[in-house]
Chain A
Amino acid sequence: MPDLGKYVTEVLLAYGVSIAILATLVAMSWRQSRRVRRDLEAAEARKNG
């Protein structure tokens, strides 16, 4: 851990907030992608079968 001096809170907060927001976006995009993919496969199967 580097010595952040008197700005520990600010720097850690900035990294924490940003990474949390990015992770949320990636997770949401991923989940949505998987859900739609599964639904589409089910619908294709219904059509063909």
Chain B
Amino acid sequence: MIALLHRDLLLATRAGGGFGLGLVFFLIVVVLVPFGVGPETAILSRIAPGILWVAALLAALLSLDRIFALDHEDGSLSLLATAPIPLEAVAVIKAAAHWLTTGVPLAIAAPVLGVLLHLDPSAFGFVVVTLLLGTPALSVIGTFGAALTVGIRRGGLLLSLIVLPLYVPTLIFGAEAVRRGVDGQDTATPLLMLGGITAGAVALLPFATAAVLRMNLR
């Protein structure tokens, strides 16, 4: 299992593996926003938490179709299915590898990009914490979506269409926690809900992912 995680991380970080592309995409979106809404500091500062969350979400989406597609093409997914480890564990590891290569870097990069958007200083901590808390859910949900569409050629657009609505609750609670944090309101509820969604998704969705993979490999 550790070997599988190691292999996936290695594949992702190697040239052409897509690692870093998500980060660059994140940067580009954040740079594009002021061109779209104008350079006023007050407006940018106000919408910065939301922009960072939406941009992170889109960046996470970008690398989803790689999770299973390559393994499916070269047949190693079928090998994994017959391997002694349960397919549920494979799903968890795939999601973990995706999180480590996109979620964590995005959370670390977010405050740096926040500077570009005049993010309120008190929000920096909240952005990092909510992203760290919320991106595992994004990875697990995305892994499920990737498993659903693995057998479909050019399924990338379909994958976004399926996964994005599933991201709604995570996005709402994540961005809401940052907004409340900046306004000095109570953040316990949205943070708890965000953590709850992540915990629930990590605990339950791998079963659905594994079931879907079995259907696809049958």
A–B in direct contact per CB < 8 Å: no
- Which residues of B are in contact with A by a Cβ distance under 8 Å? none
